[in-house]
A and B are shown apart, each in its own frame.
Chain A
């Protein structure tokens, strides 16, 4: 990609990432949440990969890391649910203090779940992108 694209990507990418985090953290207050935020986070990574390009080995490395993060996100999510089971004898029980409505630190486990989902979705989408992008190696054969 051209220098302009790279430069702008490096400027914008961080903002996109930050915006994704914003969406995730306000998931229990405003529209959005784990999935939407995760997609945006993945978008920032995709932007970097598109701008700076990648080679096969780099792609494999990223894919490896992404898949680990994906599993961690999912485990985190299920872990929260299991915590509910162990602490309050109900799966997915909202065992944390709920706080006041419309405050950032409220709604118990929901923000945590949103974070877990965002990790899972971001990593998952990014790895899907990488997997599809990898097809260019064999389609060019």
Chain B
């Protein structure tokens, strides 16, 4: 339960940063927090109390492993997160280059 609450708090912190912060970089940091929170949660889903890490060192060893699939999935999610963060950062840099500001509320040429 503790982990779930932690996850929830992290998600809320991430969303809060994304929604209320006006600085591009802080928004991106908000995304990082949100992403980590969800990855954290995903990794926890496979957790079993008292189980081993899912590494097989011999052919017929102990069978009490935690679920390895979430970890694989989280790894994939991290890769995707890497791509999005990189892309977002490059947008932020380019936006700064064009607008000379990091304030998203001042970047509002598209409206109506």
Contacts and interface: CB of A to CB of B under 8 A. Distances in A.
A139 B89 CA distance: 14
Interface residues of A, number: 14
Interface stretch (A12-20, A76-84, A88-96, A130-138): A130-138
A132 B59 contact: no
Contacts of B79: 35, 121
A139 B56 contact: no
- Secondary structure at chain B's binding surface: helix, strand, loop or mixed? helix
A35 B57 CA distance: 21
Of the four ranges (under 10, 10 to 19, 20 to 34, 35 or more), the interface on chain B belongs to 10 to 19
- Secondary structure at chain A's binding surface: helix, strand, loop or mixed? helix
Kindly name the residue among B57, B93, B96 whose own CB sees the greatest number of chain A CB atoms within 10 A.
B93
Interface string B72-100: 00010001001000100110010011000
A125 B83 CA distance: 9
B55 A31 contact: yes
A125 B79 CA distance: 10
B93 A135 contact: yes
A30 interface: yes
A102 B58 contact: yes
A102 B57 contact: yes
Contacts of B57: 102
B105 to A, nearest CB: 22
Given A128-B86, A132-B86, A102 B56 contact: yes
A121 B96 CA distance: 28
B97 A138 contact: yes
A101 B79 CA distance: 28
Contact of A132 (B56, B58, B75, B93): B93
Interface string A20-32: 0000000000110
A102 B97 CA distance: 52
A81 to B, nearest CB: 16
Contacts of B97: 135, 138-139
Interface of A: 30-31, 35-36, 101-102, 121, 125, 128, 131-132, 135, 138-139
Given A36-B75, A139-B96, 15 more contacts: A30-B55, A35-B79, A101-B56, A101-B59, A102-B56, A102-B57, A102-B58, A131-B90, A132-B86, A132-B90, A132-B93, A135-B93, A138-B97, A139-B93, A139-B97
